[in-house]
Amino acid sequence: MAENKTERFDLLEPGTHVFTGTVKVWRGDYGELLTDSGVTVPLTTQGHPPMREGARVTLVTRKFRPLFQVEKVIKPD
């Protein structure tokens, strides 16, 4: 069965999550952020320029099961 656009977008949960922390990995379409509270958040980074490992950032994300899709980088260092 062919996947239509609405089915694809159902993978994104409504609402956003904001995380602040240090970039652990940011390569290609995948990244990881170590938050200030010590949680590692897996990210899909498609469409965003690479960030250097160790950079401090605040990210606005949407839950993209099971990852978080980066919607906006607020403050790279």
Beta strands 40-44; 67-73: pairing state? parallel
What pTM was estimated for this model as a whole? 0.76
- Dihedral angle sign, alpha carbons of residues 16, 21, 27, 30: negative
Residue 3 scores a pLDDT above 50: no
pLDDT single digits (tens) 35-64: 999 999 999 999 999 999 999 999 999 987
58 has which bridge partners? 20
**CA of residue 71 relative to chain centroid, distance:** 7
Contact 51, 23 (CB under 8 A): yes
pLDDT single digits (tens) 14-35: 899 999 999 999 998 999 999 9
> 5-73 has which CATH code?
2.40.50.140
pLDDT of residue 10: 66
Residue 77's pLDDT band, with cuts at 50, 70 and 90, is: low
